[in-house]
Amino acid sequence: MPFFAIRSLRAISVLPIVLVALSMAAPAFAGGAQNCKSPAWATPMPGFVIDSCETKAWAADDYDLVAGKKTLAGERSEVDYTLKDQSKNPTSDAARDYHIAAGKKAGATLMSDPTGWGSVMVKKTPQGEYWFIYTHGSGNGQSTESYTLTTYHIVPLPQDVVAQAMKGPLDVPGATCTDPPWLVKQFAYFKVDSCEAKIWDRVKIDLPAGAKTLEGARATVEYSLTDEKKDPAALLVARNYTAALQKIGAKLMSAPDDSDTSVSMQRTQAGEFWYIYRHGTGNSDSTKSYSLTTIQVTPFPQVVLAQLPQGSLVDMQGKGCKNPPWLVKQFDYFTLHDCTKRDFDSIVLDLPGGRKTLAGHFLDVNYHLTDDRKDPTALYVQKNYVNALEKIGAKLVSDPTDDGQAVLTQTTPAGELWYIYKHGNGNDESTTTYSLTALQIGGPPPKVCKIEVYGINFDFNKSVIKPDSAPVLDQVLALFTGDPSYKAEVGGHTDNIGTRAYNMKLSGARAEAVKAWLVAHGIAADRMTTHGYADTVPLVPNTSDENRAKNRRVELKKQNCKP
């Protein structure tokens, strides 16, 4: 026959409840046989011994009875038995009848199907209502190798949690890791384990009415259990927070019987607040950890400000590392860490329409977080830069749902400008580094006397220009065509790999190859001279692969130019 009881609600434990009539153990407890006793209403069947037990100060379970489904809620004690003497192995009917008789002897009335594999009985006393439940375990109709006895004392849910309405805005990030400001009291046997605060976040929650996305300040506090003997079931904790928040006027938005999540919303003079409880580690009868998330719905905090750059990116940036010339204001808890400037270079972008190679004046600036308490989400930083650049007329051309990067472009009198934001170290909820890259295609020629050119690539140990060099060569060509008076030396530079004599010859041949390409595209040969420098004029010491890459370049030295 089918089992008669279905546990669809999660059992929850709370503060101790002292029983008079049945002497049940009061605190929530689970342990081996040495810590267990049989309930007062039944003794073990012959041949069986106690295997384990668990007591919850409050729990809730559904049972199928003859009169229909019944939810039992209160202090619950369970004792598991296992067969030790196989010669006394009873049938399922015999085991059930044995415990029905024991319950009736204790004054209880049978409420379940008398022919099932288990039994549910009730007894009403001056001390309260008690339910005695026998559940067949392993075995079959002709064998009972284990069983469980459950005793319920029906009592209201003990309310431990106390809340108060928010009186001001959600202060994030907080200086210390503490309870959220709306929480006055929580369970004495849980402690704050960790905290996370975000100035702005986007959180998606699934509600009975459909998915909802919340945007605003967020604070999350994680709690962990400190007393294993009081390990509560999930529903107790969820209902405690639900009841406490309803008492201060918050409205429950999630399903009322959901023991994993409780979502409440409240509108106050201080703003609209959402309170989210989430069960952590454990199961329906255990809560080892949980989290409380508070969200204040707020407009997006726009920090970054941009301006339309004027003139050549090379000239505007000047010497040393500083913010890109288009950036007016960025986050005060990030600092400029390092930068890379290239008079001419190329970059490859992966865009929704496919790969795109760009070449022009190149600038890359890296930023590092200086205040871990203000560690922002990836979307918050990305959205700040996108908003700021769109405000000055740039158009987003990368995937708008990708919070790890943003590529924007615009055409200006100073040329075609490309702005690239890239998330660095961290994850969706953390940004400890990020980079800003700017590329200027065309525009006025730089006023500097020497221009460093990267992105002109050659076959290994040869002076044959690779086809992928065309975007950069086109920019060099534009430099000559844009200023008919421009004359320059084309210099080839290598790193220190190989002999000096070989590199002198190779760098000279490569400089000649660049000149030949420009002549073939209409530039008069007498406007250019060539020279091979090998590794005699390094920009940086040849001490790493990164440095050697910086030294491998082509340089244009403007004739008769004084820096």
Parent domain of 221: 162-297
Domain boundary among 441, 474, 509: 441
Q: What is the pLDDT of residues 132-156, one digit of tens each?
A: 999 999 999 999 999 999 999 999 9
Residues 350-369 pLDDT 10s: 999 999 989 888 899 999 99
Q: Are residues 456 and 536 in the same domain?
A: yes
Of 390, 417, 441, the residue that ends a domain is 441
The per-residue pLDDT for 30 is 56
**Domain boundary, last residue among 265, 297, 329:** 297
Which amino acid, residue 47?
G
Residue 14 lies in a domain: no
Domain count, the chain: 4
- CA 384 to centroid of chain Cα atoms: 19
Judge if 403 and 375 occupy the same domain. Answer: yes
* Residue 141 lies inside a defined structural domain of this protein: yes
3-state secondary structure of 273: strand
**Environment class of residue 496 by beta-carbon count within 10 Å: exposed (0-12), middle (13-18) or buried (19+)?**
middle
Determine, yes or no, domain membership for 77: yes
Do residues 310 and 372 both lie within one domain? yes
Q: Is residue 17 part of a domain?
A: no
In this structure, the answer to whether residues 457 and 549 fall within a common structural domain is yes
Same domain, 316 and 424: yes
In a domain, 21, yes or no: no
| 245 lies in the same domain as 332 | no
> 267 and 356, same structural domain?
no
pLDDT digits (tens, 9 = 90+) for 203-238: 999 999 999 999 999 999 999 999 999 999 999 999
**Do 403 and 374 belong to one domain?**
yes
Q: How confident is the model at residue 7 (pLDDT cuts 50, 70, 90)?
A: very low
- Cα(285)–Cα(231) distance, integer angstroms: 8
Based on the fold, state whether residues 148 and 166 are members of the same structural domain.
no
Is residue 11 situated within a structural domain? no
Q: Quick one: 35 and 95 in the same domain?
A: yes
Q: Which residues contact 229 (CB under 8 A, 6 or more apart)?
A: 27, 28, 29
14 has pLDDT over 90: no
The pLDDT, as a whole number, for residue 542 is 92
Residue 9 is assigned to a structural domain of this protein: no
The one-character DSSP state at 518 is H
My answer on whether 180 and 147 are in the same domain is no
C-alpha to C-alpha distance for 404 and 423, rounded to whole angstroms:
5
Q: Give the percent of the chain with pLDDT over 90.
A: 73
Pair 533, 430 in one domain = no
- Tell me, what's the pLDDT at 546? 86
